[in-house]
Amino acid sequence: MFRRIGTTVVRHPVWTIVAWLIAAVAIVATAPSLPSNSDESSFLPKSYESIKAADLQERAFPSAFTPSAIALYQRTDGGKLTAADKKDVARITTELGQKKIDQVQKVVPGQPSKDGRYDLTLVQMDSKNAGQPKQADAAKVLRENVKELAKGTNLDVKLGGSAAQALDQQDSSQRGQALIGIGTFVIILVTLLIIFRAPILALLPLVLIGLVSAIANGLIAYATKLFDLQANSSISSILIVVLFGVGTDYFLFLMFRYRERLRAGDEAKEAMVNAVDRVGEAIASAAGAVIIAFLALVLSTLGFLKQMGPALAIAVAATLVAGLTLIPAVVSLIGPKVFWPSKSWQREPANARFAALGRGVQRRPALAAVASGLVLIALSLGTFGYKATFDLASGSMPKTKESMVVQDEMQKAYSAGAAAPTDVYLSSTDGKPLDKADFTAYAQKLGAVDGVASARMTQVSKDGTTADFTVTLKYEASTDKAIDAVGRVRDVAHSDAPDGTEALVGGMSSIYKDINTAVNHDYRTVFPVAALLIMVILGLLLRSVVAPWYLMASVGLGFGATLGATVWIFQEGQGHSGLMFMLPVIMYLFVVAIGTDYNILMIARLREEAREGRSPREAAGMALRYAGPTVAAAGFILAATFATMMLAGNALLTEMGFAVSFGIAVAAFVMAMFFTPSLTALIGHAAWWPGHGDRAAGTPAGMGAGLGGSEPLAGEDRDTVASDPSGRLG
């Protein structure tokens, strides 16, 4: 199949390129916009209690005041607010309400702080558009207006709240994307220049993957709208890295094989056909593992991850198709001039370092397996200290952003939980009005819960069937203590609800509590499903039942080592209260899927060497010698491109960038280089049971060579022709 694809593309390169250009123009021109949603509650399905509580609030208290933006006032000299200052606050509040800003429904005065140094203006927006870009736009107008109204006074005013956080998150995301894009571009360009010493070859993947990126983004927008998925601005940053990082990997696999065939004496166009034929199945299998891992996120209960899974799968699928069609078409048009001005592509490098590493693994596979395994296990010990944090807003932007400054100052000036109180909604189950005589005792029981600062009944619905009890926690809404406390509030709210009533607990801490539950569900569902499907791909590719087990075990150790190192760096080293809650899921999928790619390339080369009649140990040594340079180059580029996410300046992308880049480095330089080949050497022919895929065609199985197989699947460079007496490169 892959030979047919290569032949068709190389025979009709111009039509292939034209087809891609037409597809790009059509998709980009007609794709819908991809709005971003920063409302954490929209990530959860309606079956969770916090979402049921939010729905009940809209029905029972349609005019309930829930501030979307908060203006925080303090004197420019930091002193207590004077009577004149308070008059200015009241004037600003009134005039702000009179401006009739889009999305703004109410503007009311808030409560001054107990120390008299702070005051508030509370702004309510349309709850139906919570987290949507139009509310971020409204926050921008509000921020400009409130600062303009405060001119000429002694007041310093800052705008915070969820709408302002959405605005700052949007701004931070755009800046982060620009930095990530520039960093990715520079890393790929410089690395490819060092590897090939050919400017055309260094620029080519950036141009081609840029075209693929435009198509992928359009397809993702279509899928998001078609399946009514949630969008988040962080996905755009991840997409840049996935497209350029994975795309460059596939480009490398193809170009190494193309260069190899030219060295073997193939005519230029035939060399590309042979390259696609030889490397196509390896790229397709590697991409298939990544796509399946990403699609496993569809099983997630979180809208954010549900949207991310198909989006990344579409990006990788588009990159795969480009790797088998667009890249071969363009390179076949240019021919060997793509390597200009370097002449080194005509000569076989010695690969002395990788040859030495290969000899070391060949001589002492047990030592290599134990040493690399101990490194992975030691790093994995850090996983026992893992803690999650659920404040997606503060994790998605620097602490210096205005809305984050407001959040921090409010926690100091008011009760830590005052900015996001918890609401307990007590409803009649028989449709009759509630007995108000029960309210005082019920509020006292809620107030007595450990971690609760205060609890009081604040309002009753018009029909008298639902009462709202406002519970203020002692802790900021996203902290572990607040999430534990809201769990205790739920227990008391449910167990002590008066006869004939039921209670629902809402608010941000309740949402975070449910997100925690959803993530734990994903750990039990997404992880095993992704691992099982990747094992099936490995089994089909390698025709083995044994190899997929230890390959996935090695990748699992790589995941543990990556999470452990991330915990030590950010929690222990930098003092973070925890890692972003979705990080282990994302890290698992990237490290497992992409780590499997490098294992596929290495073990496929090992099998190829074994089919030449070499012993398992000799095959492992030769595989490391020849596959090592490609795995090292691909691993470095991909790890470095993911590391550019650390330039974004926010906790979420910094943690994600470090974790994924570290995990890829471990996968390439520890697992694929040492752990996997040394284990395969130790297990020997049994690793390929029952397919015996390591045995050459026409030789009895008992003699170390047996059942034949398909064309070798390595995407790496066969670095020797002159030193290859078997002539298998010709």
What is the residue type of 71? Answer: A
Would you call the peptide bond into 677 cis, given omega within 30 degrees of 0 as the criterion? no
Q: What whole-number distance in Å separates Cα of residue 166 and Cα of residue 40? A: 11
Q: Which residues contact 652 (CB under 8 A, 6 or more apart)?
A: 234, 392, 395, 396, 580
CB-side neighbour CA atoms (13 Å) of 323: 33
Q: Are 71 and 121 in contact (CB under 8 A)?
A: yes
Q: What whole-number distance in Å separates Cα of residue 289 and Cα of residue 309? A: 13
Interval 334-360 mean pLDDT: 79
pLDDT exceeds 50 at position 718: no
Q: What whole-number distance in Å separates Cα of residue 314 and Cα of residue 291? A: 8
Interval 176-204 mean pLDDT: 84
pLDDT exceeds 50 at position 708: no
- Determine which of 165-174, 240-249, 617-626 has the lowest per-residue pLDDT on average: 165-174
Q: What whole-number distance in Å separates Cα of residue 292 and Cα of residue 309? A: 9
Cβ neighbours, 10 Å, residue 346: 11
pLDDT for residue 370: 93
pLDDT exceeds 90 at position 563: yes
Q: Are 160 and 69 in contact (CB under 8 A)?
A: yes
CA distances from 62 to 52, 58, 505 (A): 15, 5, 17
User: Closest Cα partner for 288 from 499, 530, 452, 55?
Assistant: 530
pLDDT exceeds 80 at position 171: no
- This prediction has a pTM of 0.75
What is the residue type of 391? Answer: D
pLDDT for residue 343: 76
Q: What is the 3-state secondary structure (H, E, C) of 552-577?
A: HHHHHHHHHHHHHHHHHHHHHHCCCC
User: Closest Cα partner for 617 from 282, 371, 368?
Assistant: 368
pLDDT for residue 707: 29
Q: What whole-number distance in Å separates Cα of residue 410 and Cα of residue 406? A: 6
Helix or strand run (H / E) with residue 260: helix 233-263
With the C-alpha atoms ordered 142, 132, 473, 494, is the resulting torsion angle positive or negative? positive
Q: What whole-number distance in Å separates Cα of residue 540 and Cα of residue 252? A: 24
Q: What whole-number distance in Å separates Cα of residue 48 and Cα of residue 301? A: 10
Q: In the block, which residue shows the tokens 């094992």?
A: 535
CA distances from 714 to 422, 461, 491 (A): 57, 68, 57
Helix or strand run (H / E) with residue 70: strand 67-75
Q: How confident is the model at residue 712 (pLDDT cuts 50, 70, 90)?
A: very low
Helix or strand run (H / E) with residue 106: strand 104-109
Cα torsion through 696, 701, 707, 708, rounded to 10: 0
pLDDT for residue 415: 67
Q: What whole-number distance in Å separates Cα of residue 397 and Cα of residue 400? A: 8
Q: Beta strands 388-389 and 579-580: pairing type?
A: parallel
pLDDT for residue 102: 84
Q: How confident is the model at residue 727 (pLDDT cuts 50, 70, 90)?
A: very low
pLDDT for residue 20: 93
Interval 298-305 mean pLDDT: 79
Please give the distance of CA 581 from its chain centroid, rounded to a whole number: 11
What is the residue type of 728? Answer: R
- Determine which of 34-38, 113-117, 464-468 has the lowest per-residue pLDDT on average: 34-38
- Determine which of 305-314, 408-417, 441-450 has the lowest per-residue pLDDT on average: 408-417
User: Which residues lie across from 389 on neighbouring strands?
Assistant: 580
Q: Are 248 and 638 in contact (CB under 8 A)?
A: yes
Q: Which residue has the higher pLDDT, 328 or 704?
A: 328
Interval 323-343 mean pLDDT: 89
Q: What is the DSSP string of 266-319?
A: --HHHHHHHHHHHHHHHHHHHHHHHHHHHHGGGG-S-HHHHHHHHHHHHHHHHH
Kindly report, residue by residue over 16-59, the tens digit of the pLDDT.
999 999 999 999 888 877 655 555 555 677 889 999 998 898 88
pLDDT for residue 176: 67
Show the CA angle centred on residue 54, arms to residues 53 and 57, nearest 5°. Answer: 85
User: Closest Cα partner for 158 from 91, 231, 76, 224?
Assistant: 76
pLDDT for residue 232: 56
pLDDT exceeds 60 at position 85: yes
pLDDT for residue 536: 87
Q: Average model confidence (pLDDT) for the chain?
A: 82
What is the residue type of 309? Answer: G
